[in-house]
Amino acid sequence: MFDSNVTLQAAGLIALADLPPVIVRTALSGTASYCDALVLAPSMHQQQTVSEINRGEFPITGAMTTGYVFRIENPATVHYLQSIGITGHLVTAHVYPSEQNTLHRPFFASATLLYALCPVLTIIVAVSLALIRDWWALGVLGGFIVSRLINVIVIKRRYENGWKGKKEPDIQGDLFILLCHDRWVRLQGAVDDLKAVASGQWLRDLTALESFSITCATMLVYVSAALAFNASPVGSLLIGFLLLSTAALLTLCNSLTGSLQMCDRVIWRVGAPKKYERRLVLANELITDMGGRSDWAIGMGLVLPKSGEAGIVNV
């Protein structure tokens, strides 16, 4: 039979589990806050991989108002569009400036409350470990917090709100985005707002110093997980409870958020998804909505050009 104490003392290894809540939270919020240092969940040391959350997809996009065809370059935006997209359906979303996003505040309040419970749990566990004088467990907790703080600082340094193209005030845009698995999203809003969430660079590449810091932070998580074997059964149980509870709270928080915050903008899905039997039917309907303009659809390969029309794909 296995020793129950050994099982409890291995609770620190939960921190090494490959779970997505921390990464997804970073993508949905668009950046990180110092409060995140107290949000301890499995895979906390993999936060920098959020720049790969789109799984390599940069979907082809048509600007239905201008005819240009390009790709969405922001991995966080692509991930959000992937999450709301449904195969064979057109999903409509809208981009708002953050200060105008008052309609959905109740949803933000619920998600914020759940998120606030995460650092509170960390503080409660830290105080409990101090009261029972489990210094090994408290040291493990401190190692996790320091690692998270390093990741937060690096994310904030990497966050880019720089080049977004030329300003085009008071002009409305309408994008049709073709995702993998035949998921279709129509993204509407002011052109400057659309550029903010779709173009430019979200997180710049790591510098040599930042890369070294992240390596140290990652090793700190592994060392802390190994040292957790020295903690008491109660201390290990508290750490395991904290990690699992935070993962559950973050997962629920992410599901309730339902939006993407990026560069002082918010993307929300509006209306119900609309199903289409054929993609051609959808393309023709959108062309009709745009007053017969079809150059964007031709460029995306959705429809064939008529006689005399150019059929070059501009990606």
* CA gap 43, 151 in Å, rounded: 12
CB within 8 Å of 193: residues ≥ 6 apart: 95, 96, 97, 265
The whole-number pLDDT of residue 164 equals 80
**Phi and psi at residue 212, to the nearest 5°:** -65, -40
**C-alpha angle 196-201-206 in degrees, rounded to nearest 5:** 145
- Return the DSSP state at 202: S
The whole-number pLDDT of residue 99 equals 75
Tell me how many helices (H) and strands (E) the chain has.
10, 7
* CA gap 39, 160 in Å, rounded: 23
CB 80 within 8 A of CB 28: yes
The whole-number pLDDT of residue 2 equals 44
Name the residue among 68, 88, 121 with its Cα closest to residue 247: 121
Residues of the chain above pLDDT 90, percent: 77
Looking at the DSSP bridge assignments, the partners of residue 185 are 91, 177
The more confidently predicted of residues 168 and 101 is 168
Looking up tokens 């099982």, which residue turns up? 7
* CA gap 173, 217 in Å, rounded: 42
CB 59 within 8 A of CB 71: yes
Residues of the chain above pLDDT 70, percent: 91
Name the residue among 119, 127, 187, 147 with its Cα closest to residue 47: 147
CB 134 within 8 A of CB 234: yes
Amino acid at 141: L
Q: How many CB atoms lie within 10 A of CB 180?
A: 12
**pLDDT tens figures, 30-59:** 999 999 999 999 999 999 999 999 999 999
Looking at the DSSP bridge assignments, the partners of residue 174 are 188
Alpha-helix runs per DSSP H in the chain: 4-9, 21-29, 75-84, 105-131, 135-158, 191-198, 208-227, 233-257, 279-289, 295-299
Q: Inter-axis angle of helices 21-29 and 233-257, to 10 degrees?
A: 40
Strand-by-strand arrangement of the 89-97 sheet: 69-71, 60-63, 172-179, 183-190, 89-97, 265-275, 259-262
Q: Tell me: pLDDT of 278 over 90.
A: yes
**pLDDT tens figures, 157-189:** 998 777 787 888 889 999 999 999 999 999 999
As a whole number, the mean pLDDT across the chain is 90
The whole-number pLDDT of residue 27 equals 94
The whole-number pLDDT of residue 315 equals 47
**Phi and psi at residue 187, to the nearest 5°:** -110, 120
Name the residue among 185, 196, 192 with its Cα closest to residue 167: 192
* CA gap 46, 135 in Å, rounded: 26
Looking at the DSSP bridge assignments, the partners of residue 172 are 190
Q: At 30, which helix (H) or strand (E)? A: none
Amino acid at 310: A
The whole-model pTM stands at 0.88
**pLDDT tens figures, 132-152:** 999 999 999 999 999 999 999
